[in-house]
């Protein structure tokens, strides 16, 4: 992943990686089994699109993804409606074989 992402803000890539890593950590995966996760733009597109569809994002606006951290837990939210997507992002990442 390059430092300059033309399709997404780099922080969205980083936040999804942190969400997945956080899930690994809370699942007590042995340290030697944890890998540095790097996402491509296509993977980020798929995760965000499927997440929005699964969550039944309102149709009156397009999702505007913003990274959020609360109580040291990483999350993604739509900046317009405030819907949070952490759990669905993890589920979709697993379906895509990222996790």
Whether 70 maps to a domain, the answer reads yes
With respect to residue 5, please indicate whether it lies within any of the assigned structural domains. Answer: no
Q: Give a yes or no: residue 27 inside a domain.
A: yes
pLDDT at 70: 85
**What is residue 3's predicted lDDT score, i.e. its pLDDT?**
57
Nearest-angstrom CA–CA distance, 71 and 94: 24
pLDDT recorded at residue 67 = 92
Judge whether 18 and 26 are in contact, CB under 8 Å: no
The tokens for 91 are 């589920």
- Do 15 and 76 form a contact (C-beta atoms < 8 A)? yes
Full pLDDT tens readout for the chain, 99 residues: 445 687 888 899 999 988 888 877 666 656 555 567 788 898 899 898 888 887 678 888 888 899 999 888 899 999 888 888 888 888 888 888 876
Tell me how many domains the chain contains: 1
In a domain, 1, yes or no: no
CA distances to 5, 7, 20 from 94, rounded to whole Å, are 23, 22, 9
pTM for the whole thing? Answer: 0.77
**What is the extent of the structural domain holding 51?**
10-95
Alpha carbons 38 and 59: distance in angstroms, whole number: 30
Whether 4 maps to a domain, the answer reads: no
């Amino acid at each position: 992943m390059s430092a300059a992402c033309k399709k997404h803000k780099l922080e969205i890539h980083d936040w999804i990686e942190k969400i997945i890593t956080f899930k690994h950590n809370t699942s007590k995966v042995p340290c030697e089994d944890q890998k540095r996760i790097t996402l491509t733009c296509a993977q980020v597109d798929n995760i965000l699109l499927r997440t929005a569809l699964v969550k039944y994002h309102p149709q009156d606006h397009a999702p505007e993804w913003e990274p959020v951290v609360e109580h040291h837990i990483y999350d993604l939210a739509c900046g317009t409606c405030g819907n949070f997507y952490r759990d669905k992002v993890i589920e979709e990442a697993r379906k895509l074989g990222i996790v």
